[in-house]
Amino acid sequence: MSTPTSGGASVLVASNRGPISFSVTDAGQLVADRGGGGLVSGLSAVTRHGETLWVCAALSDADRRATANAPRGRLDHHGYDTGGIDVRMLNIDTQTFKRAYNGIANSTLWFIHHHLYDTPNKPHFDGRWRRDWEGYRSYDEAFARALAEEAAPEATAIVQDYHLTLTPRMLREKRPDLRIGHFSHTPWAAVDYFRMLPDDIAREVLLGVLGADHVGFLSPRWAGSFLECCAEFVGGRVDPGAMTVEVDGHVTNVGVHPLGIDADFLRERAAQPDVEARRSALLELAGDRKILLRIDRTELSKNIVRGLAAYRELLRTRPEWKGRVTHFSFSYPSRHDLPEYREYTAAVQRIAAEIEDEFGTDDWTPLHLSVNDDFARSLAAYRIADVLVVNPIRDGMNLVAKEGPVLSERGLALVLSREAGAATDLADDALLVNPFDVSATAEAMHTALSMSSEERTARARGLAASSTALPPSQWFADQIDALRA
Ligand code: G6P
């Protein structure tokens, strides 16, 4: 058990990826950049200097260099621009980090929660995988140690995501005085899928999370699956009505906290000159054609290939759209250390080339695919899109579906997968689709493109209202309240 730190932080958050990342310039200088992804955008909005300490991992060699220069990894104490956030970045040795991040978090737990395995071939839980699991344990332990060191007596610590499922329990053992939360930004696997994990591991994951006093999810579906997994794998008492799990006298409350958009930040950022310039450039490319947009990390769960296949089917079955629509697909890079991701990126590029070959003419480019990251361009595209396609196989929430309507200038029809957490919040005004049904997705694209601008405008208004109903500040405050109740 650790000793409480009297001058420590009273609120702590822990996540693998932190609010900043570093890169090295040609001149060898370290520069800090804003981190990406749904989790980081949500938390950055609420973790202000002096209120919250953010514990995260060094993800790259440049991050490691930055932490090596900062005593105890406290970047905020060392003059780095952390965007006004107190940050401790953990320098976990590279091999342990890779085993935990690539081997377990991204190749196992991400695949389990998003139902992504090609089951005749994978998963394959063998001796090598067990070594990765050991790495994951040490990595989660490093977070628990750092939180235990940094927390003031009776502080509140909220641990984020599948990278850190074992940390809550480890932290409770070191600091029983803390109030501990865990929040999943992903779906939670359905019980029949979760059962693929070796039994001892399934139990360890659940008991790890249950070390928290409060466990949060983005949608009632994911919370329900978690409770079902607990009922199957953990002894103790699971009460699905009260949403509690009791193990060895410790009660964990399970809550649903859907994350919405920080509309003020988004609108202000989208009005900047770099966004204006990109807006003009995109309008020039589209001319007077309808704009169909998708924006994703190039991530297997995002279902980009089926989305593009649906666009191809639309052009085949509804030839009236040929020459009258421009599809922008911004698919920015993700997790390129994993072969599955590199292959998926190639598959996206392949189908894009096929679409161009089949339909492209001298004066019409049916699809503009970009595989680089450009936040300003994404904001510009939201402003002018007529239709936004968000068709993940499974997604914790999906903030793209919520950002688009908030910035829309000419009304936006949203084609949305019913398997995204956002579908719960946006069902009234979106066109919901089964993400595996390519033909139905093509038909939904047709319906969306055919909508009058009045209808698109009315729908965008409804979608924007639902998307901003629970801004990040509220989302975070609700979790703190739930923990302190
Ligand atoms: C998305 C998910 C988060 C997750 C993050 C990790 O943003 O919504 O749940 O933590 O991806 O991505 P990374 O790039 O850090 O592997």
| Banded pLDDT at 235 (limits 50, 70, 90) | confident
Q: Output the residue whose Cα is nearest ligand 1's atom 5.
A: 37
| Banded pLDDT at 87 (limits 50, 70, 90) | very high
| Banded pLDDT at 3 (limits 50, 70, 90) | low
- Tokens at residue 372, please? 């680089």
- Tokens at residue 445, please? 């694209």
As a whole number, mean pLDDT of residues 226-250 equals: 96
Cβ–ligand 1 contact at 214 (below 6 Å): no
Residue 5 confidence (pLDDT):
60
- Tokens at residue 51, please? 């209120």
- Tokens at residue 284, please? 């020039």
pLDDT reading at 228 higher than 80: yes
Instruction: Point out the ligand 1 atom lying closest to the alpha carbon of residue 185.
Output: 9
Q: What are phi and psi of 455, to 5 degrees?
A: -65, -40
As a whole number, mean pLDDT of residues 233-250 equals: 95
Q: What's the rounded Cα separation, in Å, for the pair 458 and 456?
A: 6
pLDDT digits (tens, 9 = 90+) for 136-191: 999 999 999 999 999 999 999 999 999 999 999 999 999 999 999 999 999 999 99
Q: Give the pairing type, strands 290-297 and 387-390.
A: parallel
- Tokens at residue 413, please? 């029809």
pLDDT digits (tens, 9 = 90+) for 99-122: 999 999 999 999 999 999 999 999
Q: What is the pTM of this model?
A: 0.95
| Banded pLDDT at 51 (limits 50, 70, 90) | confident
CA of 37 to the centre of ligand 1 (A): 6
Residue 485 confidence (pLDDT):
83
Counting Cα atoms < 13 Å in the Cβ hemisphere of 14 gives 30
Cβ–ligand 1 contact at 186 (below 6 Å): yes
Instruction: Point out the ligand 1 atom lying closest to the alpha carbon of residue 334.
Output: 14
Q: What's the rounded Cα separation, in Å, for the pair 307 and 445?
A: 10
Q: Which of 171-180, 455-464, 469-478 has the lowest mean pLDDT?
A: 469-478
CA of 48 to the centre of ligand 1 (A): 21
Residue 344 confidence (pLDDT):
96
Cβ–ligand 1 contact at 400 (below 6 Å): no
Share of the chain above pLDDT 90, in %: 86
The three-point CA angle 336-340-343 to 5° equals 85
Q: Output the residue whose Cα is nearest ligand 1's atom 6.
A: 37
Residue 48 confidence (pLDDT):
72
| Banded pLDDT at 475 (limits 50, 70, 90) | very high
Whether the Cβ atoms of residue 338 and residue 106 lie closer than 8 Å to each other = yes
- Tokens at residue 272, please? 């900047």
Which of 186, 334, 338 has most ligand 1 atoms within 8 Å of CB, for mutation?
A: 186
CA of 143 to the centre of ligand 1 (A): 17
pLDDT digits (tens, 9 = 90+) for 298-313: 999 999 999 999 999 9
CA of 158 to the centre of ligand 1 (A): 16
Instruction: Point out the ligand 1 atom lying closest to the alpha carbon of residue 59.
Output: 15
Instruction: Point out the ligand 1 atom lying closest to the alpha carbon of residue 40.
Output: 7
pLDDT reading at 4 higher than 60: no
pLDDT digits (tens, 9 = 90+) for 352-394: 999 999 999 999 999 999 998 899 999 999 999 999 999 999 9
Residue 33 confidence (pLDDT):
84
Cβ–ligand 1 contact at 39 (below 6 Å): yes
Q: Which of 51-55, 112-116, 177-181, 244-248 has the lowest mean pLDDT?
A: 51-55
CA of 193 to the centre of ligand 1 (A): 20
Cβ–ligand 1 contact at 421 (below 6 Å): no
- The neighbouring-strand residues paired with 244 are 239, 253
| Banded pLDDT at 236 (limits 50, 70, 90) | confident
Instruction: Point out the ligand 1 atom lying closest to the alpha carbon of residue 106.
Output: 16
CA of 222 to the centre of ligand 1 (A): 16
Share of the chain above pLDDT 70, in %: 98
Residue 244 zone, left/alpha/beta (φ > 0; ψ -120 to 50; rest)? beta
| Residue 267, CA distances (Å) to 128, 383, 405 in order | 48, 10, 11
Per-residue 3-state assignment (H helix, E strand, C coil) for 296-308: EECCHHHCHHHHH
CA of 61 to the centre of ligand 1 (A): 19
CA of 166 to the centre of ligand 1 (A): 17
Q: What's the rounded Cα separation, in Å, for the pair 234 and 23?
A: 43
Residue 77 confidence (pLDDT):
77
Instruction: Point out the ligand 1 atom lying closest to the alpha carbon of residue 16.
Output: 15
Which of 15, 16, 60, 259 has most ligand 1 atoms within 8 Å of CB, for mutation?
A: 16
Instruction: Point out the ligand 1 atom lying closest to the alpha carbon of residue 163.
Output: 10
pLDDT reading at 134 higher than 60: yes
pLDDT reading at 50 higher than 90: no
Residue 146 burial (10 A CB sphere; 0-12, 13-18, 19+): buried
Nearest of 20, 87, 23 to residue 61 by alpha carbon = 23
CA of 186 to the centre of ligand 1 (A): 8
Instruction: Point out the ligand 1 atom lying closest to the alpha carbon of residue 395.
Output: 8
- The neighbouring-strand residues paired with 13 are 54, 158
Residue 46 confidence (pLDDT):
78
Chain centroid, CA 300 distance in Å: 13
